[in-house]
Amino acid sequence: MPVIPRVPEYRELTATAEALGLFDNPVTIGFKQAWETLIAEKGFRLIDGQFVPIGNLESEELQATEPMQTADIARHLTALSRNNLSAPMQCLARHGFLDGSLSVFDYGCGKGDDIRNLQANDIPVAGWDPHYAPDNPRHEADIVNLGFVINVIEDPEERLQALQGAYRLCQQVLVVSAMLVNQNAPSGQTFNDGVITLRNTFQKYFTQAELKEYLSGSLQTEAIPVAPGIFFIFKDRDAEQRFLLNRQRSRRNVLRLSQQVAVPKQPKLSRNEKKYQACKHLLDPLWQQTLELGRLPEKSEMTALVEITEAFGTANKALRFMLSQVDTSLLEQTRQNRIDDLLSYFALQTFARRKAYRHLQAGLQKDIKAFFGDYKSALALAQSLLFRISSVESIVSACRQAAEQGLGHLDDDLALHLHTSMVQRLPALLRIYIGCAVMLYGDIEQSDLVKIHSQSGKLSLMRYDDFTDKPLPLLLERVKINLRRQSFEIFHYGEEYQPTCLYLKARYINEEFPMGHESN
């Protein structure tokens, strides 16, 4: 099959598009113009096969012959007019921060389009801009957005002051975005650490790694990447904890309750079966909550506690009756899943040298008590797993266990290959191994396959041309991460290296994988 020249570009788009919400309403995607419009509505452009955030009006949109004096740099000319939310605001929305319960302050709001859009959705919001809204007060808010501001400030000291000033105003999370380096970035007169464009505006272009380092170093706290050129920096450690813990939570599908409750086969119902039918509206949600928690909920967590108590006398009696009517083996499975989630979370926070939280959120405290007994024991077990990733025997054993459970293919060299969608189903030790490796490189969601080199302390990430739909997808990119050396290499296929086909694709996926119409 011939290689289509633009396949790598569109494959890269597909790999990150889901995280940006581009497939939320796929019926609107059709021809090229509709696709480009949708990308623009999400606050990005597709340049050289990469998503680049649309943050500022750049120089190619207007003509000029000679750059003006640096003293006359016109920062306000970079402000965009938008009909939709900017890319950082859309990231906040996707992660559940714009439900109306939190206040928002737009630091450097430009022409105020984000403010108007948020106000139209009854979200408490205000903003300030040195040119368009200089008289507006700058005040604290739960969320502060510093959207595409630091990249247009030519003075590094003033840039730092803007960043730190915005961080002081946020009570929960600061979202910072900046322009990224790309081949189409306008050239201009070099000035300080950026360029003065033909429109006499300043632009500082970051790489993703440079931006993360700048934000983390300037604010002395961890900057968390959420999209190309967009980072969350949490001041509220509880909010950060919830965000990171939710990211680590397994994406396993909890089977629907209706499939787990014993259905009576006899025409005549027993006493317990009649009681279950009468209280089904209370027991079904309670069982669903139990499966999601991986443990029995406490009274304070039951949403219908009053009704449950009235029907059964006590909450404990209701729980015992519920357990007598369901398949409890499912609870043991979800319990182990939740334990693995928490161990992976605690171990990776240790690896990242993140400061310990002063206190844990209430739900997490209950999890720790139920699964580990106390916080000290949970940390000790997580750290023990973290140290075990250097043990070849332990990694080989975990890879064998995963392959026996149908999670990937173990080759003759004892390396485990699997699709990235199954990573959260692996044993905790392998999830930690992968988590430590990708912290050196970035998110694995843009890759299709993961290869755990069980005997060499390495991890490979492979990205293919249309993995889902093609029976023989072509290799486009391979990243080899060396945990022991704390380094990685990237290999691009198509020009420098001849792309190879992936054979026996079914080895690396399972029955839950969405097969395309051309897949075998």
The tokens 């490796």 sit on which residue? 437
pLDDT at residue 315, as a whole number: 93
Structure tokens at 394: 């332990």
Is 15 a member of any domain? no
- Domain contains 36: no
Closest CA to 340 of 377, 298, 385: 385
The whole-angstrom separation of Cα 317 and Cα 244 is: 35
What is residue 474's predicted lDDT score, i.e. its pLDDT?
A: 92
Side-chain-side CA neighbours of 507 within 13 Å: the count stands at 13
Q: Are strands 189-191 and 194-196 parallel, antiparallel or unpaired?
A: antiparallel
Q: Of the residues 388, 420, 442, which one is the last residue of a structural domain?
A: 388
CA–chain centroid gap for 241, Å, is: 14
- Do 374 and 251 lie in one domain? The reply is yes
Structural domain contains residue 90: yes
If you write DSSP's letter for every residue of 400-418 in order, what string do you get?
Answer: HHHHHTTSSEE-TTS-EEE
Q: Is residue 42 part of a domain?
A: no
Pairwise CA distance, residues 121 & 304, whole Å: 30
Do residues 103 and 248 share a domain? Answer: no
d(C-alpha 422, C-alpha 495), whole Å: 31
Same domain for 344 and 465, yes or no, is: no
Q: Are residues 93 and 193 in the same domain?
A: yes
Q: Are 111 and 132 in contact (CB under 8 A)?
A: yes
Burial of 290-303, coded b for 16+ CB within 10 Å and e otherwise, reads bbebbbbbeeebbe
DSSP state of 129: B
φ and ψ of 513, to 5 deg: -70, 135
CATH of the domain at 143: 3.40.50.150
Beta-bridge mates of residue 419: 449
Residues 73 and 125 both lie in one domain: yes
According to the model, what pLDDT value does residue 442 have?
Answer: 63
Distance CA 520, CA 1 (A): 16
Q: How many domains does the chain have?
A: 3
Task: Measure the CA–CA gap between 266 and 47, rounded to whole angstroms.
Answer: 64
Residue 280: partners with Cβ closer than 8 Å, 6 or more residues away: none
Give yes or no: residues 341 and 485 share one domain.
no
Q: Using CA atoms, how far apart are residues 513 and 421, in angstroms rounded to an integer?
A: 8
Per the structure block, which two tokens stand in for 135? 């008289």
Identity of the residue numbered 29: I
Q: The tokens 């993140």 sit on which residue? A: 354
Is residue 53 one of the residues assigned to a domain? no
- By residue range, what is the domain housing residue 426? 392-508
Please indicate, yes or no, whether residues 126 and 218 belong to a single structural domain of this protein.
Answer: yes
Together in a domain, 422 and 347: no
Task: Give which of 317, 360, 343 is closest to 250, Cα–Cα.
Answer: 343
Contact in structure between 354 and 222 (CB atoms under 8 Å): yes
Could you tell me if 419 and 449 are in contact, meaning their C-beta atoms sit under 8 angstroms apart? yes
Instruction: Quote the tokens at residue 83.
Output: 């009909």
Q: How many Å separate Cα 486 from the centre of its chain?
A: 23
Whether residue 459 lies inside any domain: the answer is yes
pLDDT of residue 53: 58
Kindly state whether residues 403 and 384 are assigned to the same domain. Answer: no
* Angle between helical axes of 156-169 and 208-219 (0-180°, round to 10): 70
Both 399 and 384 in one domain: the answer is no
DSSP characters over 283-297: HHHHHHHHHHHTSPP
Return d(Cα 246, Cα 344) in angstroms, integer.
Answer: 12
**Same domain membership, residue 223 and residue 87:** yes
For residue 307, which of 286, 292, 288 has the smallest C-alpha distance? Answer: 286
- Of 334, 362, 388, the position where a domain reaches its end is 388
> What is the predicted pLDDT for the residue at 171?
96
> Which stretches of the chain drop beneath a pLDDT of 70?
1-83, 182-189, 191, 197-200, 250-267, 353-358, 440-443, 495-496, 514-520
Contact by Cβ (8 Å): 421, 330: no
Same domain, 285 and 211: no
